[in-house]
Amino acid sequence: MTELQFSLFFVALLVGYVLVHVRLARFETYLKEAGQLRLLNERLKGVSDHLESIRLDRVETALEQLHQDLEQVRDATLRVERNASKVGPEPAHFSGYKGSPGDQVRAAIEARLLGMGYGNLRILADLSSVNLDDELEILVECEKNHMPSKGRIITRNGSIQDVQLQSAAQNFT
């Protein structure tokens, strides 16, 4: 083997050694990162085990029961509202109210409209000379949900026979 061949062989051997050394250094850093990933994997497994130990079945059951109870309350409220609008308050002259016939009619109108959720009631008729036996058509103005309403209340024998109210919002539709 000549000196040139030996020199080339030695340089090739040296380059091979440097390449293997660089690759081993990179592999060491990779193994360090893999070691950190193993630690993260163990932590993640611990979190996963802890989440599995938390039981949400009881919370779901309680929420389901609460939902059913709220539906029952809503249904009962709707039934009460329907019955209240059908039946209405007792006529003033039967409820033990003492006063003039006009005051009795006024009390019956106020009780019915307040029961229906109206407020700020204004009766636009003179009730001082009414007779309970007559059928009366009384003009009223009131508010419900801050929306003005106007209409007629029909009374007979001191009790409310019909309520005909129209919201101001219906005039614009």
Strands 135-144 and 159-167: unpaired
pTM for the full model?
0.45
| Confidence at residue 97, expressed as pLDDT on a 0 to 100 scale | 57
Q: Residue 11, by phi and psi: left (phi above 0), alpha (psi -120 to 50) or beta? A: alpha
| Confidence at residue 66, expressed as pLDDT on a 0 to 100 scale | 94
User: What is the sign of the dihedral through the CA atoms of 89, 94, 95 and 99?
Assistant: positive
The CA distance from 102 to 51, in Å, is 72
Q: Under DSSP, is residue 152 helix (H, G, I), strand (E, B) or coil? A: strand
Question: Residue ranges of the alpha helices (H) in the chain?
Answer: 3-53, 57-87, 101-115
Alpha carbons within 13 angstroms on the beta-carbon side of residue 44 total 6
| Confidence at residue 98, expressed as pLDDT on a 0 to 100 scale | 66
The CA distance from 36 to 42, in Å, is 10
| Confidence at residue 22, expressed as pLDDT on a 0 to 100 scale | 95
| Confidence at residue 92, expressed as pLDDT on a 0 to 100 scale | 45
For residue 117, give the amino acid letter: G
**pLDDT tens across 78-125, in order?**
888 777 665 555 554 445 556 788 888 998 899 899 888 888 899 998
- The 8-class DSSP code of residue 92 comes to T
pLDDT beneath 50: ranges in the chain = 92-94
| Confidence at residue 115, expressed as pLDDT on a 0 to 100 scale | 87
The CA distance from 150 to 138, in Å, is 11
| Residue 145 CA, distance from chain mean position | 19
Determine which helix (DSSP H) or strand (DSSP E) holds 153, and give its type and residue range: strand 147-156
| Confidence at residue 14, expressed as pLDDT on a 0 to 100 scale | 95
